[in-house]
C-alpha cells in the first residue's frame, strides 16, 4: 500500500483519533490549514484505496481506518529494507547506527532490544 506524504499525514491524525469527521481532521492540521476540499479529496482517495471507510452520522461522514498503523508501518519498513538495503535488515540496522550519530544511551537501548530478541529466540 502506497500513500503520498499528505495522505500519510492525514492517516496519522485518523489513527490517533480512531474515528473522526472531516472537520475534526482539518482542525488537527497546523496553520496554515489545507483547504476543506483538499482534505475531502484525500479522504476520497484513501477510501478508494481501501485504507479507510466511513459511517454516516446524520448527513456527515465519520471516517475510520481499515488499516492499522502498525500494519502500515511494517509494510513501509519492509519496502524500505527491500528497496534500499538489499532486503537486509542487518544493513538497515548498520545504516541507522552509523549514519545517525546515536547517543550511547540509544545504542545501549538497541543492544537491550537485540539481547531480548536473542533470549526469546533461544527458548
| pTM > 0.85: yes or no | no
* Of residues 58, 57, 63, 56, the one with CA closest to residue 42: 63
Q: Could you tell me if 55 and 95 lie in one domain?
A: no
pLDDT at 34 over 90: yes
Higher per-residue confidence, 26 vs 123: 26
Show the CA angle centred on residue 20, arms to residues 19 and 25, nearest 5°.
Answer: 130
Q: Could you tell me if 50 and 93 lie in one domain?
A: no
The pLDDT tens digits of the residues spanning 82-101 come to: 999 999 989 998 898 888 88
pLDDT at 122 over 90: no
- The CA–CA distances, whole Å, from 3 to 19, 28, 30, 58, 115 equal 19, 19, 20, 29, 34
Identify whether 117 is part of a domain: yes
Number of separate domains in the chain: 2
Q: Could you tell me if 13 and 61 lie in one domain?
A: yes
Q: Could you tell me if 51 and 99 lie in one domain?
A: no
Q: Could you tell me if 91 and 49 lie in one domain?
A: no
Residue span of the structural domain in which 120 resides: 86-123
pLDDT at 32 over 80: yes
Highest mean pLDDT, choosing among 55-64, 81-90, 112-121: 55-64
**Average pLDDT for the chain:** 94
Identify whether 47 is part of a domain: yes
Identify whether 76 is part of a domain: no
pLDDT at 10 over 80: yes
- What number is the average pLDDT over the span 12-26? 97
Amino acid at each position: 500500500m502506497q500513500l503520498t506524504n499528505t495522505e500519510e499525514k492525514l492517516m496519522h491524525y485518523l489513527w490517533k483519533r480512531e474515528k473522526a469527521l472531516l472537520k475534526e481532521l482539518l482542525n488537527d492540521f497546523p496553520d496554515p490549514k489545507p483547504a476543506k476540499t483538499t482534505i475531502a479529496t484525500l479522504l476520497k482517495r484513501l477510501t478508494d484505496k481501501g485504507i479507510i471507510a466511513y459511517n454516516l452520522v446524520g448527513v456527515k461522514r465519520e471516517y475510520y481506518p481499515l488499516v492499522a498503523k502498525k500494519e502500515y508501518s511494517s509494510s513501509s519498513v519492509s519496502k524500505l529494507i527491500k528497496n534500499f538495503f538489499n532486503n537486509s535488515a542487518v544493513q538497515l540496522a548498520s545504516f541507522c547506527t552509523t549514519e545517525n550519530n546515536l547517543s550511547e544511551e540509544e545504542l545501549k537501548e538497541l543492544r537491550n532490544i537485540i539481547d531480548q530478541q536473542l533470549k526469546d529466540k533461544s527458548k
